[in-house]
Amino acid sequence: MLSSPFVQRVKLALSFKGLSYEYVEENLQNKSHVLLSSNPVHKKVPVLIHNGKCICESMIIVQYLDEVFAGAGPSLLPADPYERAMARFWAAYIDDKLLSSWMMAFRGKNDEEKEEGRKLSAAVAENLEGALRDCAKGKPFFGGDNVGFVDIALGGFTAWVHAVEKIYGIKKFDAAKTPLLAAWVERFGALDAATAVLPDVDVLVEVGKRRQAESDAAAAAAAQGN
C-alpha cells in the first residue's frame, strides 16, 4: 500500500541496507488470501515474507532485517545497549503518539477535539526535537552519522509531512519551533536511498484529500442523524 507510512518504513530499511525484494501491492478494501493468512492477527500491511516465514509489524520487520542482514549496509540499531534501549523507546513513542495526534487534529469529532489534537501534535514534535538533539549529539541523524532505527521509524512519515503541508497549509515540523526536526526532514528526504522508495508527495496529497472528504461526509451524516 503506497501511502502507508508503515510500509514506507520497511521499504526505507530495505533501501538503506541495499537489499532487493519483491513488492506486492495490497488492496485493503479486498484483502488478499496472502495478507489474511500471513498476518491473521492484525490483517494489516506491511508483512515481510522471508524464506517462507511471515514477519508482521513495521518496526519488528525493520529490526528483523537489521539482525538477519547484519552485514548489509549500516547497522540500524546501535551496538551500545543503552543507546539501543533509547532508540527503541523513541520508535515506540512515534508509534504511540505521532499518527494518533495528527488524526485527532484533522479528524477530531468536534472543534475542541481538533484543538486538543493540534496541541498534542505540537507536544510530540517538541519531544522529538529533544530526542533528535540527545540521540544525534550534533550529528545529522538520530542514528548519528548514519540513518538508524529512529530515522526509519520517523522516516516513514516524511512524505506525509510534505503532503500535510500541501493539503492543510500546516507545517508539522516547523523550523520556527522545532528547527532540528525541520532540517532533519529535508536532510532525510534528500538521501538517495530515501528518494528511491518514498512515494510522490502529490499522490499522497490526492489520497489525503480524498480521505478528509470521506471523513467530513461521515461526520456530516452523523450530525444529521442526531
26 or 174: whose CB is closer to ligand GSH? 26
- Which grid coordinates are listed for 177? 519551533
Which three cell numbers mark 138?
A: 550534533
Among residue numbers 18 through 77, which ones bind ligand GSH (CB under 6 A)? Answer: 28, 43-46, 57-58
Q: Select 26 or 83, whichever has its Cβ closest to ligand GSH.
A: 26
Closer residue to ligand GSH (CB): 101 or 178: 101
**Is residue 6 at the binding interface for ligand GSH, with CB under 6 A as the rule?**
yes
118 near ligand GSH (CB under 6 A): no
Question: What is the nearest approach in angstroms of ligand GSH to the Cβ of residue 140?
Answer: 25
Smallest separation, CB 15 to ligand GSH (Å)? 17
**Contacts made by residues 199-206, CB under 8 angstroms, sequence distance 24+:** 199/2, 199/3, 199/8, 199/159, 201/159, 201/162, 201/163, 201/166, 202/166, 203/2, 203/3, 204/3, 204/159, 204/160, 204/162, 204/163, 205/163, 205/166, 205/167
Q: Give the count of residues interacting with ligand GSH (CB under 6 A).
A: 10
CA distance 123 to 96: 13
Binding region for ligand GSH (CB under 6 A): 1, 4, 6, 28, 43-46, 57-58
